[in-house]
């Protein structure tokens, strides 16, 4: 009888061990599957986020940065500059001419028009724009009256703590790429920035920048 009890106890123990092993394998398999699914969801969310960002960038390119007129291009730049909430609009702002990207000390009528137009856009949007080119007095001659000057000895020698708006342009086939930024003139920190593409679609943009080569001339001589 004792032997039968022992056999029964051993068999029962084996059954318990087998069932326990199966249960452990089942739990392990479930845990492994859950971990795998979690990793897949993380990777899927990364791809989805990247796709959403690309869609936003595509919309930004189509509807904001790419413009077909100079006026809308300037409006795009000023709108983007206004989007940064860190800007203190009560702080004085001075605006400079846009310069060539490859020659930061060279500008053109195109670059000056951009700077002058941003004075209007940012002033109308609440910026405290200051005219730093004002002379110490109004000058008059027989052709008119003048206050703005680009001669350093005729204007103030310094400006207060301000923001400075600077910009560059790069001529590309059929378009001009523009970049603008607002800089704190004390710390050099970039407060906000903007980018726009002016799609003029001109075969030769020399008419836009007024640097076309002079017309070819042919001498007319008397035939001998």
Give me the domain span that covers residue 191. 67-132+158-209
Per-residue pLDDT at 171: 96
- Note the pTM of the prediction, 2 decimals: 0.71
| pLDDT score of 5 more than 60 | no
The pLDDT tens digits for 31-42 are 666 677 787 788
| pLDDT score of 15 more than 60 | no
Q: Residue 199: inside a domain, yes or no? A: yes
CATH number at residue 109: 3.40.50.10610
Per-residue pLDDT at 33: 67
Q: Residue 98: inside a domain, yes or no? A: yes
Q: Residue 107: inside a domain, yes or no? A: yes
Q: Residue 109: inside a domain, yes or no? A: yes
Q: Tally the domains of the chain.
A: 1
For the segment 95-122, the average pLDDT, to the nearest whole number, is 95
Q: Residue 27: inside a domain, yes or no? A: no
Q: Residue 71: inside a domain, yes or no? A: yes
Please provide the DSSP assignment of 82-145 as one string: HT-TT--TTSEEEE---EETTBTT---HHHHHHHHHHHHHHHHTT-EE--TTEEEEEEEETTEE
Least confident range of 90-104, 146-160, 164-178, 197-211? 146-160
């Amino acid at each position: 009888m004792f032997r039968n009890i022992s056999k029964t106890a051993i068999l029962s123990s084996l059954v318990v061990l087998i069932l326990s092993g199966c249960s452990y394998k089942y739990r392990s398999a479930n845990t492994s599957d859950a971990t795998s699914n979690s990793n897949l969801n993380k990777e899927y969310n990364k791809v989805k986020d990247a796709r959403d960002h690309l869609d936003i960038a595509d919309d930004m390119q189509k509807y904001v940065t790419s413009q077909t007129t100079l006026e809308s291009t300037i409006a795009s730049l000023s709108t983007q500059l206004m989007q940064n909430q860190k800007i203190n609009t009560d702080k004085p702002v001075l605006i400079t001419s846009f310069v060539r990207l490859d020659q930061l000390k060279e500008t053109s009528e195109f670059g000056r028009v951009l700077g002058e137009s941003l004075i209007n856009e940012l002033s109308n949007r609440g910026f405290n724009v200051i005219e730093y080119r004002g002379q110490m007095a109004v000058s008059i001659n027989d052709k008119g009256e003048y206050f703005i000057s680009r001669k350093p000895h005729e204007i103030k020698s310094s400006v207060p703590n301000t923001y400075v708006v600077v910009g560059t342009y790069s001529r590309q086939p059929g378009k001009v790429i523009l970049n603008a930024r607002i800089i704190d003139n004390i710390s050099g920190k970039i407060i906000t920035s903007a980018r726009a593409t002016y799609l003029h679609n001109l075969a030769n943009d020399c008419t836009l920048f007024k640097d076309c080569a002079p017309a070819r001339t042919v001498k007319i001589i008397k035939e001998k």
